[in-house]
Structure formats: structure tokens, C-alpha cells
Amino acid sequence: MATGRLFGAVAAAIGQCMTQALTDIILRVVERAPSWIRRDLGAKDGSARVRAEEALAAMIADALSQQEKAED
């Protein structure tokens, strides 16, 4: 499943180089996540939960990418 691979890639990247900066980036993304994502992460409906997981993973990946570009 695409979600599993995306989360796996994010988890691997974080696991290899977890720093306070990365933790802060991820926390900022989670804090600004739209209410529909927060609601759907706890949904009983599997498709809603997957949609929210994928959206949150994409937001985290984008924030990490933006940080990487800023460091270059």
C-alpha cells in the first residue's frame, strides 16, 4: 500500500537522523494540521483514516523537503 511505503520512508529518514530540528518541523506540521485530518485520523472508516494519514504524511514530507532546500 502507498501509505505504508510513504510512512516507512518518512520513518526511515527520521530514524537515521532524528534531531531536535526534525522533531520541531514535524510538531509544527501536526499542530497546523486541518481539523478534518485530526478528525479523520481517529475515524472508524478505514478510507477516511487512510486519506488523513496520506495527507499528513505529504505535509510532513513537504515540510522536510522545504527545510532541506533552505539548508542548501
* pLDDT of 58 strictly over 70: yes
- pLDDT of 1 reads 45
Cα 30 to Cα 1, 27, 57, 69, 72: the distances in Å are 23, 5, 10, 20, 25
Kindly state the average pLDDT of the residues 24-33: 93
pTM, two decimal places: 0.71
At CA 63, angle to CA 36 and CA 50, rounded to 5? 35
- pLDDT of 14 reads 62
Kindly state the average pLDDT of the residues 42-71: 93
Kindly state the average pLDDT of the residues 2-10: 65
Please write the tens of the pLDDT for every residue from 8-17: 767 766 666 5
